[in-house]
Amino acid sequence: MSSLAVYNSLSRRKEPFEPLKPGRVSMYVCGITAYNYFHVGNARAFVAFDVIRRYLKWRGYDVHYVQNFTDIDDKILKRATEEGVPMQEIAERYITAYFEDADRLNIMRADEYPRATHSLDGIQRLIHELEQGGYAYPAGGDVYYAVRQFPEYGKLSGRKLEDMQAGASGRVDVEEEAECKKDPFDFALWKSAKPGEPAWESPWGPGRPGWHIECSAMVRDTLGETIDIHAGGVDLQFPHHENEIAQSEAVTGKPLARYWLHNGFINIDGEKMSKSLGNFRTARDLLASYDPMAFRLFVCQAQYRKPVDFTQEGLDAALSGWRTLESALLFGSRFSKQLDLSENALEADLDSEAVSRFREAMDDDFNTSIALSVLFELAKELNRQGNLLIHQGKTDASTDVLGRQWRTLIDLAKALGLEVRSTSEIPTGEISATAGPATAGIAGRPLSNSEIESLIGQRAAARKARNFAEADRIRQELAAQGVLLTDQPDGTTLWHWQDS
Ligand SMILES: [Zn+2]
């Protein structure tokens, strides 16, 4: 029987998986910053780690799964200002939307969802400890992490500070507060509040935490000083996860995580998805007209670390693949009159050959791509037998064999979260059939005036940045919602409802 091997981004190789406590796995996945619907790249990450979690459970581990919500952030604040509402209102809106979309994708609920605003004690404690240890310094109401005090900085991403300075001035994110920092690579742990911004009291004055420190504190609060798996998209490896390591390990002197898992990007039609390219696609927008299970299948067709090309052909192929699986998953109920495959038989034994091939594939760093081939073999055979039943009135395999294949398919598909859900099980949050990407409005209810003004503001900003593709996208998005724009010679934009 195979044993589980996992690619660890930290060591850059596959390692045998040995959790800290035998039989138990603590797992932390970086969640959304709640200022928008999550995009298909995020959806891939959440599905990929949900599959890993389900597989660990299938393999008998007791998995404790934590995913955070960042509900304090510059992007949330910006959106709140644009809409003229409190930051909390924006965060609540997109946290609710997160659950609607994640439920649709059959992503299991985490055991805990810590939020930055609920973790201020742990955050301030960690900053204080970093200060005590000489890893942090206050400057102008902010507090910064002194990157050069942590000799192991760069160990996760394999970057060296010297190299970054030498070659890549354009790529390094120099924060606005640069003038307060002692070193351009230092990053903010605590940001002083500008007038009118939400702020929390602290020993360094009123302000709010930086993004990286939130995760370090929430991991420690919920799972302890060393966890088994820390996961996120490959875009989080640097600087976010590198900074988490620097913060947590400087204080505890212990490894933050035994295994670091990073999933690959989604490219859209061969290009990296980004807002500036105008090919940004939310999961909500996709799922308005696409089967969530087909999307799960689409994600599982690639091993989770590999990049995925998001194309219409790929989506069409995944949808037809899902129809094949779906029909086979329903085999027992479709032919319950002809074959006696009773419900309690679901407890009976499985096809051990198929199970061991599935397990071998998944044990090799969660190779869902090969694992799926086992599912498709079972599904195609069941569907063939189904056709024989329909056309010839009999199968050419015994009921026992068919029952075993059917149960095996259900069991293995469930380990990947591929399940046929009756309509009543599928969450029915409102979803727009016509909404474009990043749309504030939801079908059945027109956009509010402030949502329209906000989108017009975003479009003006895009035009100012000469990002005409984005500007045009927003215009089309509004048109799809029945809002027409008229640009005035003085640069302002008027709008009206299509039929008024
Ligand atoms: Zn994080």
* CB contact set of 475 (below 8 Å; sequence gap of 6+): 459, 485
Q: What's the pLDDT tens digit per position in 132-163?
A: 999 999 999 999 999 999 999 999 999 888 77
Confidence class of residue 165 from pLDDT cuts 50, 70 and 90? low
CA–CA distances in Å: residue 131 to residues 43, 147, 474: 37, 13, 45
Distance CA 214, CA 28 (A): 13
Q: 212 C-alpha vs ligand 1 centroid, how far in Å?
A: 6
- The per-residue DSSP string of 34-96 comes to TTSPPBHHHHHHHHHHHHHHHHHHHTT-EEEEEE-BB-S-HHHHHHHHHHTS-HHHHHHHHHH
Q: 226 C-alpha vs ligand 1 centroid, how far in Å?
A: 15
Rounded to an integer, the average pLDDT of 221-230 is 98
Q: Which of 44-58, 190-204, 421-435 reaches the highest mean pLDDT? A: 44-58
Residue 496 has pLDDT above 80, yes or no: no
Q: 146 C-alpha vs ligand 1 centroid, how far in Å?
A: 19
Beta strand segments in 177-328, E: 187-192, 207-209, 227-233, 257-263, 266-268, 271-272, 308-310
Distance CA 9, CA 430 (A): 38
Q: 420 C-alpha vs ligand 1 centroid, how far in Å?
A: 32
Q: What's the pLDDT tens digit per position in 46-83?
A: 999 999 999 999 999 999 999 999 999 999 999 999 99
Q: 241 C-alpha vs ligand 1 centroid, how far in Å?
A: 7
Q: 65 C-alpha vs ligand 1 centroid, how far in Å?
A: 14
Q: 68 C-alpha vs ligand 1 centroid, how far in Å?
A: 8
Rounded to an integer, the average pLDDT of 197-225 is 96
* CB contact set of 316 (below 8 Å; sequence gap of 6+): none
Q: 233 C-alpha vs ligand 1 centroid, how far in Å?
A: 10
Residue 498 has pLDDT above 70, yes or no: no
Q: Residues with beta carbon < 5 A to ion ligand 1?
A: 30, 215
Say whether 357 sits in a helix, a strand or coil.
helix
Residue 18 has pLDDT above 50, yes or no: yes
CB atoms within 10 A of CB 97: 20
Place of tokens 């913060």: 247
Distance CA 279, CA 473 (A): 9
Say whether 366 sits in a helix, a strand or coil.
coil
Place of tokens 């910053």: 33
Q: 16 C-alpha vs ligand 1 centroid, how far in Å?
A: 25
Q: 202 C-alpha vs ligand 1 centroid, how far in Å?
A: 22
Q: 30 C-alpha vs ligand 1 centroid, how far in Å?
A: 4
Confidence class of residue 172 from pLDDT cuts 50, 70 and 90? very low
Q: Are 104 and 202 in contact (CB under 8 A)?
A: no
Q: What's the pLDDT tens digit per position in 111-120?
A: 999 999 999 9
CB atoms within 10 A of CB 196: 8
Distance CA 117, CA 209 (A): 9
CA–CA distances in Å: residue 442 to residues 17, 119, 430, 456: 44, 32, 7, 17
Q: 309 C-alpha vs ligand 1 centroid, how far in Å?
A: 25
One-letter amino acid for residue 243 of the chain: N
Q: 244 C-alpha vs ligand 1 centroid, how far in Å?
A: 7
Beta pairing, strands 24-29 & 62-67? parallel
Q: What's the CATH class of domain 308-415?
A: mainly alpha
Q: 405 C-alpha vs ligand 1 centroid, how far in Å?
A: 41
Fold of 8-263: Rossmann fold (3.40.50)
Q: 340 C-alpha vs ligand 1 centroid, how far in Å?
A: 50
For the chain, the maximum distance between any two Cα atoms, rounded to a whole number of angstroms, is 82
